[in-house]
Structure 1
Amino acid sequence: MSFEAELHDLFQQAYLKGVEDGKQITTIDDRLLNREEMAAEVLAVSPDTADKVLLQKDFPHIMVGSRKKYSRPAVREWIKNHQEI
């Protein structure tokens, strides 16, 4: 087998291993956030400033008892769809 063929096989094995390893990694943070966490971690503003956004009727949230909770992926999608250019 030539050097080029061996090198090709080595890179192909490394690529396939990387793909397989990537399938094992879960990077979605599905933890529900409260008002303060949403303000700090996603919007990067104070909770009082965040209320201007969080209280909009179409802002994604779920009710857990009497408290609103926010899904980071749903909020990111909402932000993507509500950008002003």
Structure 2
Amino acid sequence: MFEAKLQPESDFNNKVYDIFYDIAKKAQEDVQKEMELPYLLDRTKLAERVFNVSVQSLDAHVLKRKDFPKVHVGGRTLYPKDLVITWIRNHVDVSDDIAPERNFGVV
């Protein structure tokens, strides 16, 4: 009779801890970066620090949408950070064709 026993490597617990520690550290850094942003963003900061795209891409694909949150102050258009992040979370498209048994999305 064949018998197999799977045993983790001797430092398995340390490796798992290190992985979770790195994930938690990255999440904490992301929250800190978000908190450092001003409440109202101009389109350059919005493009670079929130969407990570060029201003031209942001203009062409997002800013012209009527449902995208914006505030007009004098002659300037500014974007409220909290409403923008909520808008992004509400507009994430995930196809059920990719992996219907999995739950995807922004948390």
**TM-score bucket of the superposed structures, by smaller chain:** 0.5 to 0.7
**Once the two structures are aligned, what percentage of the paired residues are identical?**
39
Q: Which has the higher helix share?
A: 1
1:52-77, Cα deviation, whole Å (9 max, x unpaired) = 10110000010011211011111000
Aligned to 1:56: 65
Point out where structure 1 has 5 or more consecutive residues left out of the alignment.
1-26
Q: Is the Cα–Cα contact under 8 Å of residues 33 and 72 in structure 1 kept in the other structure? A: yes
Counterpart-to-counterpart distance in 1, 2:38 and 2:56: 24
The alpha-carbon deviation at position 31 of structure 1 amounts to 2.4
Which consecutive aligned stretches of 4+ in structure 1 deviate over 2 angstroms post-superposition?
A: 27-31
Q: Which amino acid aligns with 1:65?
A: G
| Residue-pair matches, total | 59
Supply the RMSD in Å over aligned alpha carbons.
1.5
The structure 2 residue matched to 1:46, chosen from 34, 37, 54, is 54
- State the TM-score, normalized to the length of structure 2: 0.51
Q: Which amino acid aligns with 2:69?
A: P
Point out where structure 2 has 5 or more consecutive residues left out of the alignment.
1-34, 95-107
